[in-house]
Amino acid sequence: VRPKSWSPGRARHINASRRACLVARFGFIYAQERFDAETLLRTYISDMEMVQRIIYTAAVESFYAAKMAYWKFKIHVKEALSLGHSGPESLEDAVLDYIVCHKDEYDVYASVKEVIRSMNINPKISFPPEIDFIVLSTLIQELCCLAFSMQTLVPPLDVAFGIDGELFNESKYYRSPDSDFTAAFVAYHVWPALVEDGVVIVKGEVVTKR
């Protein structure tokens, strides 16, 4: 039961500390779990570009699937709470509080399946026939849980949209060490940038080539 002294100030303070934890988690996944997934995929695929494309696609698709799941979950919670809601906080705040406290009700396994299904039909990535994208399910699950939690922040966090051939943007990306540092265009993406209200708060990583 939440104390009666709940205030927007307290909510904001908790929002700020949760945001800091989630941003740090995003950084940890990039530094450690992405690297583990890369090492795992290299046992099946010798082409490093394909390995990195697969992991980038998994990250972007995980955010998309988690956002869709969050949107559906939020509608469901709003319908349930609106029946007996009387304040003092707004219905929108009550819905957010409920989701933050009941994140374990999110069916992350359904999202993982959704991500793998999307990856299987993505023409830019391919896998040897003897293996399945399911080998990445640990990474995908981590990313889906993180992305779902990021939707409960005010404002929510998301990954930036990136396309092959886009102009390299220094405020959005780092170049991979194997990039051509004189090239102006992105050959492919290694990791997405994290954005808040359209502003990059954590840079992504790309490979630039002529």
Nearby residues of 38 by Cβ (< 8 Å), 6 or more positions away: 51, 52, 55
Dump strand ranges (E) for the chain: 157-159, 173-175, 186-191, 194-196, 199-202, 204-208
Give the span between the Cα atoms of 134 and 37, in whole angstroms. Answer: 12
Give the span between the Cα atoms of 121 and 48, in whole angstroms. Answer: 20
Phi and psi at residue 101, to the nearest 5°: -80, -15
Q: What is the DSSP string of 17-67?
A: HHHHHHHHHHHHIIIIIHHHHHHHHHTT---HHHHHHHHHHHHHHHHHHHH
pLDDT of 7: 53
Strand partners for 199 = 196
pLDDT of 3: 43
pLDDT of 1: 40
Strand partners for 174 = 205
Give the span between the Cα atoms of 64 and 158, in whole angstroms. Answer: 9
* Residue ranges for the chain with pLDDT beneath 70: 1-13, 85-88, 91
Q: Residue 29 gets which letter from DSSP?
A: I
Give the span between the Cα atoms of 203 and 172, in whole angstroms. Answer: 5
pLDDT of 92: 74
Phi and psi at residue 146, to the nearest 5°: -65, -50
C-beta separation of 179 from 207 below 8 A: yes
pLDDT of 10: 59
Taking alpha carbons only, the member of 49, 34, 59 closest to residue 209 is 49
pLDDT tens-digit map of 40-95: 999 999 999 999 999 999 999 999 999 999 999 888 888 877 777 666 677 677 77
